[in-house]
Each structure stands twice: as C-alpha cells, then as structure tokens.
Amino acid sequence: MEANHILKVVDQAIKAGFLDEAKEHLDKAKRLDPTNAYIYAFQERIAFLKEEAAKKKTAVTNRGAMEDAARAKLDADRRRAEEERLKREDAQVKQLEEWHQKKLEAEKRHQEDLIRAAKGQTSPPPAPAPSVSEPVPSVPPEQPRRPEAVYTPPPVPPPAPVVPPRPAAPVAQPSVSSTKANEAHDMYKRVLLLAWADGAISPEEESQLRDLRTSLRITTEEHTQLELEAKEESYAHAFTLVWTSGMNAKERSAVINELRQKYHVSSEAHSRVEAKVLTEFGHHQNKPTLYVIDDDENTLGMIVRVLEGGGFAVHAFNTSDEALIMLQHDMPDLIVSDINLETSTVGGFSFYEKVRQLHHLSHVPFIFLSGMIDEGMVRYGKGLGADDYLTKPFSGEMLLDTIKGKLKRYKQLKSN
C-alpha cells in the first residue's frame, strides 16, 4: 500500500514535469515493492520523457537555424525576382515604344506614296507632236494646187478622275505568341510564389500583383489557377521543412495544422501534398498510419515515441477537434484516443461516435485509453463498439501488442 501511494506521487510529479523528483520517489517505491509492474512502466515513461525533452530542445535549436536560413534565402529570392521584374518591365516598355515609332514611320511612308501616286495621275506629261511632213503631190496646171496636208496628233484622252487617298488602315497590335504568353505566366507565377512564401499576401503585394496582371495581360481565370498552384507549392515547401526539422509527431501535427490555416489549403490539396512529400522521403513505405489523441502532453509524447519506435507512422493531436478535421479526408489504419479530453469540445465517447458516422472510417479499429480504473466506463466504451480499452499506466510492449493484434484481425476481416 505504501508503494502504491508513492506511485500516485510519482504520477503527479510526472504530470507536473518534475522528472528527477519522480525518479527519486520511484526508486523508493522499487525498494519497497520490486515486483510491482507499474514501477517499471513509470520508469520507462520517465526515460522516454527525458529523451523527448532533450530531443525537443535540439529540435527547437535546429528549427530556429533552419528558419533563419530559409528566411534569408527567401529574402534573397525576393530581391532577385524584384530586380528581374523591373528589368522585364523596362524591356517591355522599350519594346512597345520602338514598335509604336516604327508604326508611325510606316504610316507616314504609306501616306507619301499615296500622294505621289495621285499627283502622277493628274499631270501626265504631254505627248510630243511628230515632225514628219508629207510631200506635196504634183497636179496638172489646169487644176489649182492643194494645200499641204498638216499632221493632226491624236486627241489626248481626258485626265483620269483624281482618287483621293484612302486613309491608312489601323495597324493591329501584334498578337502575343504562345511562347510569350508562357513566359508571362511563368514570370507571374514566380512573383506569386514569393508573395505566398510567408503564407499571406499584404495589401501592398496585392496592389503590385494587380498592376503586374495588367502589364502582362493575365486574365482573372489565369490568375486564379496560377495562384492556386503557387499556394500549393509554397505550402508543400513549408510542409517539407516541418517534416524534416526533427520535430516529434505531436509538434509536427500542431505546426502543420497552423500552416493549413495560414495558407488557406483545402483538405484535398493537403492530402496531395502530404502524400507526395511523405512518399518522397519514404515515411509511408509499408508503414501503418495511426492517429493518437490525448490532452496530456507527456503521455502523448511517450505514446508517439513507442509507436514510432515500433514501426508506425503517427499523427498526434491534443484535441479531438483537430483530429476530426483531418479525418474528414484521411483514413488511418487505427485510432487511439483518450476518453477524458478536457481541452476538446468533443469528449472521447462522442469523438468515437462521430468517427463511426464517417463512412470511410466505419470499420477502422478504435482503442480507448483512460487513467480511470472503472469497469463501468470500460463496459460503456466496449458497448459503443470500441475494439479495445487500455488503462493507464501501461507498458510500451502492452500498447504495441494490442495495436498489432487489432491490425492483424482487421486485415483478416478485410481479406474475407
């Protein structure tokens, strides 16, 4: 009984974060009752929490360095893109001025040609009269002499009516070729990527984008499509940084949830990005996916550590509300949830019922966790249809064996 009382003190010390103090009490309990299985479970839990704290500290340091490097790179990319944009706009303005000048010169030459042609028709050169004289024929003396025949030139035709010069037809602006259109799209998308790099567009950036759309002749439909692509690519880049930052599953889930809200990414787009990134880094190769929900940060971290060490891909959540958002369009292989979720709007039992209402999750194995030793709660949870019920504290081996057994049975049922 004294050992059990000390174990309660150990549990409170662990929840308060006093791991060294908890270890001292645990050693005392071990001397009193060396065969108590809960002592070894707590011992394992304290070891995991200490390792997790050290890893978290390292991850925070690494993440700060990565964020600084990424921020410096984004600033440099933004400056280069701005310089490139200014150069392109100057070149476009110069090209338009040259084209306009050439058009004016061509119209001027065309008008002069029409005027010269009209003048040539109204003042034709006079035709020269021939200088040939016909010989005077000899006549008999009794007849009077004929006068000389005078050469009469043929009549000059009347001048052709003057046709007023027709006004020059307006020269159509050269149509943008498909190559130039693609270049404009590429340039606009690069600017969009820079604007969405930090997950938000400022009013100043929005104004600049409107001016750039006008200058590059980007339609509203094209802008919408290009912006969707830029947002998804920017989100994928941020998602990759988070996934490779060394965070644990709980921290990753919280940060990724914030990124989804920041980038306004839909569930479908998130699923595409997640599948692509995780496949690229090999995190989902033949690994069952588990969802774990617990509002106790220390317990959640310990469970995640055990499951990842057991070869599972884990998504960790502090609240059932966050898990439900992800489960709308995701299908894990198994769900582990605490019953007493004080920080959630939906408790453990209600969370189970909402999960079962989703058609694609109606048969996914579900395991309840609880620190309350109450047979009535166990019966109620199993009565709802839950696959199993684990009471805290439990060992890592017990958790892994339970999950592996449920996954094996679920796989057999699916194959039948």
* The pLDDT value given to residue 404: 92
Quick check: helix, strand or coil at residue 370? strand
Rounded to 5°, the CA angle 261-266-270 comes to 90
Confidence label for 395 from pLDDT (cuts 50, 70 and 90): confident
List the chain domain ranges: 286-416
Confidence label for 129 from pLDDT (cuts 50, 70 and 90): very low
Quote the CA–CA distance of 77 and 198 in Å, as a whole number.
13
pLDDT tens, 253-282?
Answer: 777 777 877 787 776 777 677 767 766 665
* Domain 286-416: CATH superfamily, name plus number: Response regulator (3.40.50.2300)
Q: Which residues of 144-179 are buried (b: 16+ CB within 10 A; e: fewer)?
A: eeeeeeeeeeeeeeeeeeeeeeeeeeeeeeeeeeee
Quote the CA–CA distance of 254 and 292 in Å, as a whole number.
13
* The pLDDT value given to residue 248: 63
Tokens of 46: 């304290």
pTM over 0.85: no
pLDDT tens, 81-93?
Answer: 888 888 887 776 6
Q: Which residues partner with 290 through β-bridges?
A: 314, 334
Quick check: helix, strand or coil at residue 386? coil
Q: What is the CA radius of gyration of the chain?
A: 44
pLDDT tens, 281-293?
Answer: 655 556 889 999 9
CB atoms closer than 10 angstroms to residue 111: 13
C-alpha distances in Å from residue 100, one per residue of 104, 169, 171:
6, 15, 10
C-alpha distances in Å from residue 117, one per residue of 110, 111, 127, 164:
11, 10, 20, 10
Can you tell me which residue has the tokens 């009549």?
155
